[in-house]
């Protein structure tokens, strides 16, 4: 579905943000892109919806080279929620922000109406319908960005740091929502430093360091690798840490409930 072939990217200031990236993202999967600040995660994501084109190498999306398709046609199928909400929001009201993408990408007026109402309500934005996006709090701005993109129902969703500024209630809601979207067949790519958030999703994990992909694989395998964690300054998620410290061989649990059940089972209680 998404393929990077020997991709290098040099920003205009001469910084090479991507080095020989080879990567394949399969349809209907949840993927996490992790790594410390400045390792090229956002730069890589911006290649998927064609906002950036490789300096050398190629990115293929749905079998087409991004150098040969317009950003607009890619955006319809690949929704991207930017890391910095202020780079995404531009309309005069919350309502118009959500309607902008919808009006561009959806023609059926009933579907448009339904999706608009859904986006507004699901992301708890109804009371701000006629407010300027600039007047929202940081967490609310992020939710508006996600709502605006999901409103037009793209096949692939890229979320760049979705949990920044979100309280625990919103994070849990987002977690369930991402999982449901994936069950409906969407491909999800999440860039995040919030490993505890990612853990229950059990994503395919792509670790970046200094513009390169260091390792890809299951989150459990990635975060069991002490040497990799030392090299990339990543912290092991707590439940995996607990499982390793208790030397439990079975698959680590996704959440506290699963952990409690497993420990009770193992103890025979
Ligand atoms: N628009 C730009 N112009 C010039 N250099 C850039 C630009 N965007 C990013 N860079 C540089 O490219 C490198 C990779 O940046 P990028 O934003 O992709 O990292 P990141 O992994 O997303 O980091 P973070 O976790 O802080 O969001 C950094 O060295 C950064 O300074
Ligand atoms: Mg980034």
Residue 106 has pLDDT above 90, yes or no: no
d(CA 89, CA 197): 25
- CB-CB contact of 185 with 28 (8 Å): yes
Which residues are near ligand 2, the ion (C-beta closer than 5 Å)? 41-42, 83
Given this model, what pLDDT does residue 170 score? 85
CB of 38 closer than 6 angstroms to any ligand 1 atom: yes
Distance of CA 50 to the CA centre of its chain: 16
pTM for the model stands at 0.93
Q: Which domains does the chain have, with CATH numbers?
A: 2-234 (3.40.50.300), 237-269 (no CATH)
The model's pLDDT over 59-87, given as tens digits with 9 standing for 90+, comes to 999 999 999 999 988 988 999 999 899 99
Distance 254 CA to ligand 1 centre (A): 31
Q: Which ligand is nearest to the CA of 193?
A: 1
Point out the ligand 1 atom lying closest to the alpha carbon of residue 191: 22
The average pLDDT across 159-175 equals: 90
CB of 42 closer than 6 angstroms to any ligand 1 atom: yes
- Give just the sign of the alpha carbon dihedral 131, 133, 137, 142: positive
Given this model, what pLDDT does residue 36 score? 94
CB of 233 closer than 6 angstroms to any ligand 1 atom: no
Given this model, what pLDDT does residue 268 score? 85
d(CA 262, CA 127): 43
State what percent of residues in the chain have pLDDT above 90.
Answer: 85
pLDDT range class, residue 173, cuts 50, 70, 90: confident
Distance 113 CA to ligand 1 centre (A): 37
For residue 141, what are the CA distances in angstroms to 37, 90, 93, 131, 159?
22, 11, 12, 11, 14
CB of 39 closer than 6 angstroms to any ligand 1 atom: yes
CB of 192 closer than 6 angstroms to any ligand 1 atom: no
Average pLDDT, the chain: 94
CB of 13 closer than 6 angstroms to any ligand 1 atom: yes
């Amino acid at each position: 579905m998404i393929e990077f072939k020997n991709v290098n990217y040099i920003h205009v200031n001469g910084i090479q943000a991507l080095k020989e990236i080879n990567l394949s993202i399969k349809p209907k999967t949840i993927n996490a892109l992790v790594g410390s600040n400045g390792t090229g995660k956002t730069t890589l994501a911006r290649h998927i919806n064609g906002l950036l084109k490789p300096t050398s190498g190629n990115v293929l999306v749905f079998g087409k080279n991004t150098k040969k398709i317009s950003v607009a046609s890619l955006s319809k199928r690949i929704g991207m929620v930017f890391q910095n909400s202020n780079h995404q929001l531009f309309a005069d009201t919350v309502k118009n922000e959500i309607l902008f993408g919808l009006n561009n990408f959806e023609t059926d007026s009933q579907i448009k109406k339904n999706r608009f109402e859904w986006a507004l309500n699901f992301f708890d934005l109804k009371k701000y319908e006629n407010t300027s996006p600039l007047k929202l709090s940081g967490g609310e701005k992020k939710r508006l960005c996600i709502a605006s993109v999901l409103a037009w129902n793209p096949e692939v969703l890229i979320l760049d740091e979705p949990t920044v500024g979100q309280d625990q209630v919103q994070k849990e809601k987002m977690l369930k929502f991402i999982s449901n979207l994936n069950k409906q067949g969407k491909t999800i790519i999440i860039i995040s430093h919030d490993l505890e958030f990612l853990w229950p999703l059990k994503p395919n994990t792509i670790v970046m360091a200094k513009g390169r992909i260091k390792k890809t694989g299951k989150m459990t395998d990635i975060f069991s690798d002490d040497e990799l964690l030392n090299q990339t300054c990543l912290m092991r998620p707590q439940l995996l840490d607990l499982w390793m410290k208790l030397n439990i061989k079975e698959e680590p649990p996704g959440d506290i409930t699963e952990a409690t059940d497993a420990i009770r089972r193992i103890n025979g209680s």
